[in-house]
Structure 1
Amino acid sequence: MKKIFLSLVVIAAVFTVSCDRDFNTLGSDIVGDGHYEFDRYEVQNLSAYTVKTGAVQSNNLVINSLGVYSDPAFGETISSFVTQLELPISNPDFGIDVTFDSVNDSVYLYVPYFSRQTATGLGIEANTYELDSIYGDLNGSFDLKIYENGYYLSDFDSQDPTVRQRYYSNQKGLISSSIQGGLLNNSSNTAENTQFKFSKEEIIIYETDGEGNYVDAEGNVVLDNTQRVIKERLAPGMWINLDKATFQTKIIQASSSNLINNNVFKEYFKGLFFDVASNGGSSPLAQLDFSKGYVAIQYHSKNEIGGESRKNIIKLNLKGNTVNFFENSFSQDYQSVLDLPFGVNQDFLHVKGGNGSVALIDLFGPVNPETNVPFELEELRSNNWLINEALLIFSIKNNGQKNPKRIFVYDADNNAVLLDYIYDGTTATDSKNNKYIHDGFLKVNSNGEALQFVVRIKNHIDKIVNNDDVLSNKNVRLGVSVTENINISALANVFEVDPLNGLEKLPAASVMNPLGTVLYGNTSAIADDKKMKLEIYYTKPN
């Protein structure tokens, strides 16, 4: 047992930290200036191991990924996606004498990226943006094919209509075998298909006349670009021209009985399939909120017989049921970890999102057969300590991976959040940084090198050690996953439960995040300063 000194001033600072703090800085949240004396106990018996998830439930995620990402530690992931579409209104009226102008009318897809504006352009100059949540080589590309989906994505299970339908990350074949028609993103611009790239450029739409010429504020055709009038500015996003004939036939000329409401429409037009393949070069992968995207169909029609033909637009929202598909080519090192026997204490823990892996942690070691309680836990309970803090500390082994910004620790026996998660009501400017006392943020040094993850689990440990209720003080197995958003505590099912590890569910926010991290375990082969630790800070009774 080792004694250290903590300042209550420092501890108070942790609990009143600004919502704009730097969550990635490795600070001194624990070691104070010695005004008050506390004791530290380091748990002696910890074991942890990596557990493969296999295919995972990936329908109706809040955030989806699209693209190809190669990670030095974990291998390559290809993410494809399918989504239903929704009409903006039921049974839309397209007018009369509907036509598609070959010059002025078009059909295009727009899905915004996560970005922030960094500078404002002067006049008609473009604003400058920085992209977020894109991994890999931004200058790289991949092969993107967009098709009409022919497989109906059901709301409810066909065998039990009271249960929501689940779709999994390995079911791409259901969609790829049911494609309707030809390629929709068939532009001659390869940046929209075979060499698709994520661009950080703002999208600017200018006013034009009826002939496709740019005009000034008075409607006069101009050749000087500075005289153009901006009609709309869009933040950086996917902007892809789609086949006009398909949408003219399928939407504008559709029978009104197929457009009467969105339930009927989704059975008629079953959505879009974004099929991704590697083109052999360096590639990026982006996380996207497809629900903010749309397909815009431009057309001309008249409001009345003999009236003037006017340009109109209808936007089909990318909403409804969705599924993300993952195809992995794991690295040899990562695959060898996944193949290790279940439950063996490991030197390194590989925690990866998508259909990757989680880590499981067993606390306090061997169990007293007479009480069914670990010997070490029995000793802790006999001390009657006032527990002030408990920190689960993971050191990071940098194998070239892009580490996630945050990890998540949960009750893996009951598939539930910990008390520390429930009790932490702190909020931040960026909601992904909420519950910052509970922590789990990536800690880096001044050079940006990834060092640690620290998770506060004081309330969980206090419940185990000091609660006399045998129904609520059970020593549960802990799970560790990556997380895309700490506010999402929903669970996702695994496709096939391995009877050896019994893993049935994992945090859905882990499925959304494609990144992984390599953590040091707690074996004798690991240097003491790198070992996974559970540190308990306490006050002795009088």
Structure 2
Amino acid sequence: MIYNIRKFFTILSVMVLGGVLVYNCEPEPDSLGEQLFLNGAAEGNETSYDLIAYNIDNNDTIRTDAFKLLSLVSSGSTTSTAVLGAFNEKQFGKQKASYFTQVRLAANNPDFGTDAVVDSVVLVLKPIVSVDSLKTTTDESYVFPNGNVDAKKVVNTYPIKKYGKAKLNGGKLTLQVNEVTEFMNGLNDIVYSNKNFDTNPTALGSKEIKDGSVSSVVITKDSDNTELFTASAPSVRIPLTASVFQTKIIDKKGQPELSDVSNFIRHFKGLKVSVVEEDGYLFQFTPNDMQLIMYYKSDKIENGVKTRPQTTYEFAIKGSNMHSAYYEYDRTNAIINDYANGNTTTGDLKLYAQGMGGNSIGIKFKEEEIAKLKKLYQDDKAAIITAKIRIYTDEATWSTPYAKPTASDFTIVQKDKDANGKETTAFTADYTSLGALFIPVRAYNTDKNPAYYDFTVTQSLKDIVESGAAYNNKYFKIDLAQFAPNSSGTVAGYNYTTRAFSMLRTVFVGSDPSNQNKIQLKVTYGTKK
């Protein structure tokens, strides 16, 4: 019977994939025929086996330099993501995110004209927002301050996509900008999330995000409807101290500090953006969309008449600049300290997964359970059809309003050690076999408590049970992150993920023998009759 079923799978695989799948590759659950077993069209048995699941302590640190923050690729262009904010809760403790960036001149040796004086400077930051929750207000009697021009002002307001206590203090969060006083090195230098570059303690500027929302603005002239000002993307405009830019930029005209990139990034070393509050919410923004704009006036003579029109100068704040994220943690009195013990022998009772350098989850097969499966295979010719690691959110401790992860919010990789003890990392054997067609994770009941998730490890288990591959040094590593796509839309590689800026965290049930929702290996197998 098993022979005929396998033969059917082989024929179907060739039909679907044009011969890409070979005879021994097993299909992804629910994609190439598992339903035949589960719905009674052929015989199959599902049995549960215990696992060793434990917390992997990443020391609350992860690489967060420009390479990791700018590694997402979409439609052939590089995008960027970073996190700001603060969030404190009893399970994981406090997590606070700040952001560093270098600043460059638009071109070397800029000419600001005669008797240039800075009017104002703004740092424009664009959070990721919910575009389907737009609110519009219009002021038909607005007077544009530069020239006292009668105008119309249209403001579109969007809520920021938040993770945490979105309504704490009415959704207020205060952004603060400080000048960096420590050289931040170059674009290709590695930086970790525990690196806090030195800054001038006197803030360059600050801005309160009210109600957790940001706005786009368009101002048009009443007389002819021409645009006087536009900020088409919803953003936060943080006013900075004009005198600092007068001294460090305008007054340095023609001097070595502005002559080339190397001199400038040692003269004006960069900016730090942080939040004042110690609790509230986290949000993501796009560093490549940031702007640093200086408004200034200088002399202009036309037909013998001198005027002082306002001019804008936009610094280069993206691209080849060095960027990094800084994450602070305070685990004092957090419940994670009682359970995240990293017990690789019998497992931890609860599993604490967290992005941005927090814990990962490690999972190992148990020797005695592998022995049972091998005996089934040898004695009863039981062939593994599917194998899934099933993990539940912890109903007792993680009954929260915070969004549960979706299936795409996880990464799973396979870890092995060679004969010399060197650890290697790779995609799971299932992903390697099926590639883009493979769905590694399925999510269930994410709108309920508990939710649960199935991670497919069919081929990895078959390799051990049916082909005799070693398993003592093998384990799986699960993170709350996504695999980043390349320009063609497929996964770029196992080490290209969103871990550096994933705001998610969740408590799962681990290897707890007293809990009916303990993590388990669910194996469906068929036997010859």
TM bin, normalised by shorter chain, reads 0.7 to 0.9
2:351 partner amino acid: L
Residue of structure 2 in register with 1:161 after alignment: none
Q: Which residue matches 1:147?
A: 178
The corresponding residue for 2:479 is 481
Distance 1:120 1:145 in 2: 26
Do 1:147 and 1:179's aligned partners in 2 also have CA atoms closer than 8 Å?
Answer: yes
Matching residue of 1:294: 291
In the alignment, what sits opposite 2:413? Answer: 410
User: Structure 1 residues 122 and 325, CA, compared in 2 at 3 Å: closer, same or farther?
Assistant: closer
Work out whether residues 55 and 341 of structure 2, in 8 Å CA contact, stay in contact via their aligned partners in 1. no
CA distance in structure 1 between the aligned counterparts of 2:246 and 2:265, rounded to whole angstroms: 17
Counterpart contact for 1:50–1:350, Cα < 8 Å = yes
Partner of 1:332, secondary structure, is: coil
CA distance in 1, matches of 2:186, 2:363: 36
Structure 1 stretch 347-356 or stretch 197-206: which is displaced more? 197-206
Aligned Cα root-mean-square deviation (Å):
3.9
Q: For residue 273 of structure 1, what is the aligned residue in structure 2?
A: 272
Match of 2:222 in 1: 216
Q: Residue deviations 1:466-525, cap 9 Å, x none?
A: 456x58x88611112111555477788xxxxxxxxxxxxxx8633322321111123321
Task: Pick closer, same or farther for the CA change 1:93–1:439 going to 2, 3 Å.
Answer: same
| Secondary structure of the corresponding residue to residue 375 of structure 1 | helix
Please give the alpha-carbon distance, in whole angstroms, between the structure 2 residues aligned to 1:329 and 1:165: 27
**Residue 242 of structure 2 aligns with which residue?**
244
Distance 1:343 1:262 in 2: 54
Tell me the equivalent position of 2:503: 514
The percent of aligned pairs where both chains have the same amino acid is 17
Instruction: Tell me whether 339-348 or 143-152 shows the greater mean CA deviation.
Output: 339-348
Is 1:531 matched with 2:518? Answer: yes
Partner of 2:310: 311
Distance 1:244 1:422, change over 3 A: farther
Give the CA deviation at 1:90.
2.5
Q: How does 1:359-438 map to 2 (within 5 A)?
A: 359-366=361-368, 374-376=370-372, 378-379=374-375, 382=378, 387-398=384-395, 399=397, 400-401=399-400, 402=402, 403-405=404-406, 406-413=409-416, 414-422=424-432, 426=436, 437-438=439-440
Q: How far apart are 1:240 and its partner, in Å?
A: 0.8
* Superimposed CA distance per residue, residues 106-144 of structure 1 (whole angstroms, 9 cap, x where no aligned partner): 211111111242258587543353432443224333554
For structure 1, which runs of at least 5 residues remain unmatched after alignment? 17-26, 157-163, 187-191, 208-214, 219-226, 368-373, 427-434, 493-506
Name the CA shift for 1:437/1:321 in 2 (closer, same or farther; >3 Å).
Answer: same
**1:396 to partner: Cα distance:** 0.9
Measure the CA separation in 1 of the matches of 2:298 and 2:43.
78
SS of corresponding position for 1:236: strand
For 1:392-422, what per-residue CA distance to the aligned partner results, in whole angstroms no more than 9, with x for missing partners? 2111114245333422221234233224445
Structure 2 match to 1:453: 453
Counterpart check, 1:79 vs 2:79: no
CA distance in 2, matches of 1:335, 1:76: 13
Equivalent position SS for 1:202: strand
Question: In 2, Cα distance between the equivalents of 1:217 and 1:76?
Answer: 53
Distance, in Å, in 1 between the alignment partners of 2:121 and 2:355 is 35
Whether the 8 Å contact between 1:51 and 1:342 is mirrored in structure 2 is no
Q: How does 1:326-365 map to 2 (within 5 A)?
A: 326-330=327-331, 331-339=333-341, 341=343, 343-365=345-367
Q: CA deviation at 1:425?
A: 5.5
Q: What TM-score, normalized to structure 1?
A: 0.71
**2:156/2:234 contact within 8 Å kept:** no
Per-residue deviation, 1:241: 0.6
Q: What is the rounded CA distance, in whole Å, between the counterparts of 1:199 and 1:130 in structure 2?
A: 6
Q: Do the aligned residues in 2 keep the contact of 1:184 with 1:243 (CA within 8 Å)?
A: yes
Q: Say whether the 8 Å CA contact 1:43–1:364 is kept in structure 2.
A: no
2:202 corresponds, among 182, 195, 206, to: 182
**1:173-213, CA deviations, whole angstroms, 9 ceiling, x for partnerless residues?**
xx2xx324732006xxxxx1xx5557424221425xxxxxx
Alpha-carbon separation, structure 1, partners of 2:301 and 2:412: 63
Question: 2-side partners of 1:206 and 1:411: how far apart?
Answer: 55
In the alignment, structure 1 residue 59 sits paired with structure 2 residue 64: yes
Q: What corresponds to 1:97 in structure 2?
A: 114
Secondary structure of the equivalent of 2:367? coil
CA distance in 1, matches of 2:453, 2:235: 32
Q: 1:40 touches 1:535 (CA, 8 Å); kept in 2?
A: no
Distance 1:519 1:242, change over 3 A: same
Do the aligned residues in 1 keep the contact of 2:355 with 2:481 (CA within 8 Å)?
A: yes
Residue type of the partner of 2:283? Answer: A
In the alignment, which of 219, 223, 237 is matched to residue 206 of structure 1?
219
CA deviation vs aligned residue, 1:421-446 (integer Å, no higher than 9, x gap)? 456665xxxxxxxx8722254x335x
CA contact (8 A) 2:299 2:309 kept: yes
- TM-score normalised by length of structure 2: 0.72
Is 2:126 the partner of 1:112?
yes
Q: How much does 1:84 deviate? A: 1.3
Deviates more, 1:310-319 or 1:356-365: 310-319
User: Given the alignment of the two structures, is residue 137 of structure 1 paired with residue 137 of structure 2, yes or no?
Assistant: no
C-alpha change, 1:120 and 1:170, in structure 2 (3 Å) is closer
- 1:44 corresponds to: 49
2:146 paired residue number: none
Deviations 1:311-339 (A, max 9, x none): 32222243322222222222432111234
Q: 2:178, 2:353 → 1: CA distance? A: 34
Query: Which of residues 139, 150, 155 in structure 2 aligns to 1:126?
Result: 155
Whose strand fraction is larger, Structure 1's or Structure 2's?
Answer: 2
Is this contact kept in 2: 1:464–1:475, CA < 8 A?
no
> 2:49 aligns to what SS in structure 1?
coil
Amino acid at match of 1:117: V
In 1, Cα distance between equivalents of 2:123 and 2:526? 61
* Amino acid across the alignment from 1:127: N
Aligned length: 450
1:48 and 1:343 in contact (8 A); partners too: no
Letter in 2 for 1:153: M
